[in-house]
Structure 1
Amino acid sequence: MGTVFLVHDRAADPSARCPFALKVVEKSSFQTKLDAERRARWEIQVLTRLSDPAPAHSFLPTLMGHLDSAGFLAWAVPYCPGGDLNVLRYRQNDRVFSPAVIRFYLAEILCALDHLHSMGIVYRDLKPENVLIQNSVSRRKLSFSNGERSNSFVGTEEYVAPEVVRGDGHEFAVDWWALGVLTYEMLYGTTPFKGKNRKETFRNVLVKEPPFIGKPTALTDLIGRLLIKDPTRRLGYLKGASEIKDHVFFRGVRWDLLTEVSRPPFIPSRDEPDLTEKVTAGFDIREYFQKLRSPPSLPPSPLPSPSSEHHRNLSLAEF
């Protein structure tokens, strides 16, 4: 529902050496997208809670500032140059990670989820695209307190927990289910319950057991325990993240030193294009959104039929 721009402070950082990400939502979209304004403001509220008091959690984003004007709602978060976990997986030779790399990233994600849960926040949208490579996990929303349960449907269908599909009401255990799906995808390169369509995917979530290849390992045991259909029997339900940290797969992890790791498994390549090389003198966001609303102009067609094979190649800027 928002557009993210890579920006920099022209006064304090003219060479754009320290860019940040600016998420912008046009307020006119609030009129067309149900509940969009509440969700946008809730995201800012959650980021504010994560940022105060300082210092913020090492594996979660901070709110650098926000703007509420007549036409736009915008908020800034640190820029993560390494892309996301899905992009990183596709860069691997066989598009999967080794158990050692999985252990590293899972440990950081687990710490982030643990912190969110301690604040009464259920993430509900954990997936590779929302894990940014640097030192942060992207954000989503919903707060629970005093045993509240949500009945709203949030999340990507391949990652949605059975209790969400059934509409039984759900709480923190949905994040442990999603962690299991994420781990499975990191290991095998695909999600365990994906069907030919949405209906089949949900049916698989409800009745299918995750398929494993080869001999059982500590990693496959962890995945199986996270993907138990009954949330009350799922690993993490009783004691939260500490219950998962005690699993044999994480044996030897120094949780107290995790934030001190100076060389993670992946370091952004210096050969990759530098997004900050081309620094613009200025950019009018209003014009950008106006172009998004305006359909691209097409030249007169030589044929009256709309199924003409002649197509004009339109640049990204025109859209």
Structure 2
Amino acid sequence: METTSPELDLDKLTAVRVLGRGAMGTVFLVYDREADPSARCPFALKVVEKSTLHAKFDADRRARWEISVLARLTHPYLPTLLGSHETDELLAWAVPYCPGGDLNVLRYSQNDRSFSSCVIRFYVAEIVCALEYLHRIDAGRRKRRRNLTRLISLVSDKGLKKAKSARVLPVSRRKPSFSNGERSNSFVGTEEYVSPEVVRGEGHEFAVDWWALGILTYEMMYGKTPFRGKNRKETFRNVLMKPPEFIGQRTALTDLIERLLEKDPTRRLGYNGGATEIKEHAFFRGLRWDLLTDVLRPPFLALKEEEPLTERITAGGTDIKEYFRNLRTQQSEESVPPSPLPSTLPSPSSDCRRNLSLMEF
């Protein structure tokens, strides 16, 4: 596992509680007993068992891909890799802990399970910036890969003059992408967010992210996704055929959503100009993009816990390796760790931000 991140020592880490579970692994809230005995700076640790990964090659590849991507990220709206560790039994990697739950949990805490236009503007703007960064580094990676392929091809042709060139990348037979000439045919994600081109199996590019952004924005506005059906077949039929439904008077927000949910990816907002094209939409008119990262107080803050988390942490904890040893001996799937509790911990980067109000950026 090749990364530039520090090597974690699982024997020095104590798990406070389980933050979440998925098909591929378990995420813990942990702290380093030696470097941080008072547990003031805990972090999230994702751990998967090798036995599970070896049974699923795609899962193993996806886990290692996730680690490699995190190792390259340096953006305020994206997690970074704090460290990783691999044993014969486990594969683990750490990222900063962000208290308060995710955006969906926050949305469900609202009375009508939706956000105001001002709140949507703030969170969508952050997502646009994060996607812009991801698209930029991915485009750079693909460009370097193509240059390397050309170099290898050139060297091979010079060294083996009798060999006929038969190196044709599969992507070269497809329609060219607006940014890098390559399309992907992989599918990972929630079916309600799948774009029409993915449903049709045409291959896809960065435009699928702008479609997903449109779905998310619609869900933030109405509390539900626009194309959900009774089953997957009906959902996909709606994705292909049904236009998004809007209530009331048309606004800049509904126009943004409608243009992001254009069925034809070549006509979708963001296809030609990427994030810059979306930033110029009327919904974001007047927004100070240069001050967005300086906003100290977002629309919502993490709920505070009655009892400081550090008091409970120092009282005990669970050894990571011991946790999985015990898990393997359990006879019933109903024996699970305690449910996570809300946290009072501040964001690790909050002390470094300016005291800028939400309305200033």
Is contact 2:139–2:180 with CA below 8 Å preserved after alignment?
no
Q: Secondary structure at the match of 2:72?
A: helix
Residue correspondence of structure 1 range 52-71 to structure 2 within 5 A: 56-71=74-89
Aligned amino acid, residue 186 of structure 1: M
Match of 2:232 among 190, 195, 198: 198
Once the two structures are superposed, the pairs formed by residues 14-163 of structure 1 within 5 Å of their partners are 14-50=37-73, 56-120=74-138, 146-163=180-197
| Paired AA for residue 336 in structure 2 | L
Q: Is the 8 A contact 1:97 1:187 kept in 2?
A: yes
Shift of 1:21: 0.2
The verdict on how the C-alpha distance between 1:196 and 1:70 changes in structure 2, with shifts beyond 3 A counting, is same
Shift of 1:283: 2.3
- Structure 1: gaps spanning 5 or more residues: 51-55, 123-143, 299-313
Deviations 1:173-231 (A, max 9, x none): 00000000000000000000000011111111111111111111110000000000000
Sequence identity percentage: 71
From 242, 245, 248, the equivalent of 1:214 is 248
- The match for 1:7 is 30
Higher percent of residues as helix: 2
Alpha-carbon deviation of 1:153?
1.3
Instruction: Name the CA shift for 1:184/1:118 in 2 (closer, same or farther; >3 Å).
Output: same
Pair 1:289 & 2:316 matched: no
Post-superposition CA distance 1:41-61 (Å, at most 9, x none): 1111101111xxxxx211111
Amino acid in structure 2 at the alignment position of 1:85: L
Structure 2 residue identity aligned to 1:62: T
Q: State whether residues 291 and 318 of structure 1, in contact with CA within 8 Å, keep that contact through their aligned partners in structure 2.
A: no
With normalisation by structure 1, the TM-score equals 0.82
Structure with larger RCO (C-alpha < 8 A, sep 6+):
2
1:291 Cα shift?
A: 4.2
SS in 1 for 2:304: coil
Structure 1: which amino acid aligns with 2:191?
E
* Offset from partner CA, 1:2-52 (integer Å, 9 cap, x none): 1101001111211211110001111111222231111111111101111xx
Q: Aligned equivalents of 2:185 and 2:248: distance in 1? A: 38
Over 3 Å counting, the alpha-carbon distance change for 1:290 and 1:195 in structure 2 is farther
Q: Which one has the largest radius of gyration?
A: 2
| Offset from partner CA, 1:127-171 (integer Å, 9 cap, x none) | xxxxxxxxxxxxxxxxx9842111111111000111111110001
Give the partner amino acid of 2:320.
I
Distance in structure 2 (CA, Å) of the matches to 1:13 and 1:163: 49
Q: Give the whole-Å Cα distance in 2 for the aligned partners of 1:160 and 1:243.
A: 22
CA deviation vs aligned residue, 1:294-313 (integer Å, no higher than 9, x gap): 45369xxxxxxxxxxxxxxx
Structure 2: how far apart are the matches of 1:121 and 1:29?
Answer: 32
CA distance in 1, matches of 2:251, 2:338: 52
Q: Deviations over 1:105-141 (max 9, x none)?
A: 001010000000001169xxxxxxxxxxxxxxxxxxx
- RMSD between aligned alpha carbons? 2.2
C-alpha displacement at 1:316, in angstroms? 2.7
Distance 2:225 2:46 in 1: 29
User: How many angstroms apart in 2 are the aligned matches of 1:193 and 1:12?
Assistant: 49
Q: Distance in 2 between matches of 1:35 and 1:60?
A: 24
Q: How far apart are residue 285 of structure 1 and its match?
A: 2.6
> Residue 65 of structure 2: SS of its match in structure 1?
helix
Q: Distance in 2 between matches of 1:150 and 1:272?
A: 48
Q: Distance in 2 between matches of 1:318 and 1:100?
A: 36
TM-score (normalised: structure 2): 0.73
Given the alignment of the two structures, is residue 225 of structure 1 paired with residue 259 of structure 2, yes or no? yes
Q: Give the number of equivalent residue pairs.
A: 278
Instruction: Give the secondary-structure state (helix, strand or coil) at the position aligned to 2:138.
Output: coil
Native 8 Å contact 1:2 1:25 kept in 2:
yes
Q: Which runs of 5+ in 2 are unaligned?
A: 1-23, 141-176, 340-361
Any conservation in 2 of the 1:5–1:23 contact (CA below 8 Å)? Answer: yes
Alpha-carbon distance in structure 1 between the residues aligned to 2:254 and 2:308: 38
Q: Secondary structure at the match of 1:190?
A: coil
- 1:316 equivalent in structure 2: 336
Residue 260 of structure 1 and its aligned partner are, at CA, apart by 0.7
How many Å separate the matches in 1 of 2:320 and 2:215? 37
Distance in 1, matches of 2:237 and 2:328, equals 38
Q: Distance in 1 between matches of 2:42 and 2:322?
A: 22
Cα drift, residue 290 of structure 1 = 4.0
Query: What letter corresponds to residue 316 of structure 1 in structure 2?
Result: V
